[in-house]
Structure 1
């Protein structure tokens, strides 16, 4: 069964997404979505993704709540910057952040979290130094950004993925 359907959860998820996006439960839509989902799962085996284990679902839920709150807070902060451009002198810049995490899925999740948060973007990852380069729209204190990334996100991701 694993050879025919190597990633069953992914396959079911892709089929469900296909059906939601198409807005139809017609037999042809289900067959086409199923074929595409199975084909995508088979194609993923060629990439040979590293094995991982999702260790702490409660920690993931807490992280999701933290990220949601941070996205809302950051949206408000960026809106204030855009709507009141002359209110305060703004300085954008880059911050290099040393990371302790090495898990590839944890790093990918960190990149998604940072890029999804308005006002910040993951620019580069240096695997030799295990550092990331972060661009911040309103950079006031570089050390504060290092603390935010390490304490708010990296420690939780390490708890989940390592």
Structure 2
């Protein structure tokens, strides 16, 4: 049998072993062996639920992307605070359907999480074919401009970072 069948996720096994050792807080060979066994067993039992992580192709671009997302979150916090503290009649909440080109489930999850982390937007749903992401936005002036912003500012860089095909 192949290594991947008996040790499907070595890093997960190692991480779970370390977490076990930190939880028991008693260094001993018995706890190390028990932690390794538990880590291996949990990884083996969960292998069918794990998504394949795409290969990172542009790590420096990822760093720049993370900084941009953090900056956007900060700016959005200020904007949402102004909106919430202002006149509520001025708000224009809406659901916006954003067409998605990302095919990898992990990267699609990352995109949905980033959009939900940004105050004022929440990823509300995904179509059955994974081609349309439903966003709830607190204040929308122009839905098309929002779609263009999501695709150019968030989706396109993720596809470049992981060099996904755009089909």
> Same fold by TM-score, threshold 0.5 exceeded?
yes
Aligned to 1:52: 54
Q: Distance in 1 between matches of 2:21 and 2:139?
A: 41
User: How much has 1:150 moved relative to structure 2?
Assistant: 0.4
Aligned to 2:108: 107
User: How much has 1:80 moved relative to structure 2?
Assistant: 2.2
Aligned length: 159
Higher gyration radius (CA): 2
What is the correspondence of 1:7-156 to structure 2 with a 5 Å cutoff? 7-16=9-18, 22=23, 25-27=25-27, 33-47=35-49, 49-50=51-52, 52-82=54-84, 84-86=85-87, 89-128=90-129, 130-156=131-157
Q: RMSD of the alignment, in Å?
A: 2.7
Runs of 5+ unmatched residues, structure 1? none
Runs of 5+ unmatched residues, structure 2? none
TM-score, reference length from structure 2: 0.78
Q: Distance in 2 between matches of 1:68 and 1:107?
A: 19
Deviations 1:139-162 (A, max 9, x none): 122122111110111111111231
TM-score, reference length from structure 1: 0.80
